[in-house]
Structure 1
Amino acid sequence: MADQLQVINTPQEMRALSAAALQGGRRIGFVPTMGALHAGHLSLLDYARPICDLLVVSIFVNPMQFDRKGGIDRYPRTWEVDCRLCAEHGADVIYAPTPAAMHPDGFLTKVAVAKVTEGLCGAHRPGHFDGVTTVVVKLFNAVQPHLAVFGQKDYQQLTIIARMVRDLDLDVEVVGR
């Protein structure tokens, strides 16, 4: 565990840190979030901390998950509190990429998982899960985690992420807590 919480804002810097950790034989744990951390998020950090050498928490409010009705503008942003909570719960790194880093000009690619995205929440939020999977695969690419911990509260999202990892042969263990 690091003595001080490190904040990283670019995929290149995150990949470099992860590469050094992996080269040193360290196990990387990852908890992806959109910030506004609550007890559920903190329980994920508490689960991952003792089984990982480097614990990364992402804070990225994903515009691809929101409809065009201004939902992203209403999403709470509590940066200072989130940083304090991450430090208190043993995170080593906050990976907080900018929207431009995640979706540079000309970005056209999306990751879509068929069928499991079509019912439940997906039926009422077209494109939502494509936004989730696209950003999660980009986060995985930057962080290179051994373990990614997701809340079970959103069971459909957990199922979709697990299916994406399986279908794309991503080398990450997905755990629902």
Structure 2
Amino acid sequence: MALLIISRLDGVSAQLQQLENAGAAVIWRPYHEAGGTWFWWSMEGGSQYNRLWRFTYDYMTNVKGLDNLIWLHGFNGEPNSAFYPGSQYVDIGGADTYAGDGNYDPLKAMFDRTYAVVGPSRPIALHENGPIPDPARLQSSGARWVLFNTWHGNHLTVSNSTSHLRYVYNHAHVITRDELPDFG
């Protein structure tokens, strides 16, 4: 098993190295939905999960020399501190949920549970979602998600109405790619 993991890390590291060579930073989210037992990396509990995360971090940064990765540690919808590898291995914390089509709740309780684990020194992402929380409610509730990552296809177009998508992407609280400065 160890050789298979190293082989896979070598393959993905080669691809990520190409991005680094091109000057690109990558928000890197290996082993997402930590704590959920539906993926092999969480099935044996937090201790094993953390060993795997730390090994991957060390291998990719110290052995492979990648320094363009922004490490996003993503919990499932129930953040559990047993599955947190530690702030020295994480740049962004996060959690995910599919709240139900048309539910634009700011998910403040989940944000707070994630914050309780990762602390104040890490931004927190809604790293996987269906409906996009209402930006005005994010502001009024204090749910300070640094980004949202709406899952593909139907989650974008069925979980969110067209009018909600227009509202979100035109809201002053949301920054879209065309509004970013030139980082070059």
Larger RCO of the pair (alpha carbons < 8 Å, separation 6+): 1
Report if TM-score (shorter chain) is over 0.5: no
TM-score (norm: length of structure 1): 0.29
TM-score (norm: length of structure 2): 0.29
